[in-house]
Amino acid sequence: MAGEFELYENKAGQYRFRLKAGNGQIILASEGYKQKASAKNGIHSVGKNAPLDERYQRKSASSGKPMFNLKASNGQVIGTSETYSSEAARDSGIASVKKNAPDANLEDQTD
């Protein structure tokens, strides 16, 4: 099963998206956007930037657990991962985003 972007509106009225791997696990989540079109642009940007290793900021969360941000060419964060149990698990998460994002389908849950 291919990866999938889910576009949804949160309780605060902001548009967000998440990227799910073929197994249904969430592997990347967005910030909130005020406009649906902006969220769709974010999805497009994730698809375009995901294959590029230099766009990944490997870091640790405040808990000390490994995580990553995916950044656009302008340096803006366009997606954030969950926290992982190890750096190897984080690197597997990055590989999954690289694999799933470029050809992921879009499920628009806002219609």
pLDDT value at position 1?
A: 64
To 5 degrees, how large is the angle CA 35–CA 36–CA 42?
Answer: 95
pLDDT grade, residue 94 (50/70/90)? Answer: very high
Express each pLDDT in 9-67 by its tens digit: 999 999 999 999 999 999 999 999 999 999 999 999 999 999 999 999 999 999 999 99
What is the C-alpha separation between 102 and 85, in angstroms, rounded? 26
Mean pLDDT of 90-111: 95
Q: Which residue has the tokens 């690197």?
A: 91
User: What is the rounded end-to-end Cα distance, in angstroms, of the chain?
Assistant: 24
Residue 43 belongs to what domain range? 4-108
Name the DSSP class of 33.
B
Identity at 31, one-letter amino acid code: E
The answer to pTM > 0.75 is yes
Pick from 109, 101, 96: nearest CA to 78: 101
Number of domains observed in the structure of the chain: 1
pLDDT value at position 2?
A: 80
Q: The domain that contains 42 carries what CATH number?
A: 2.30.29.80
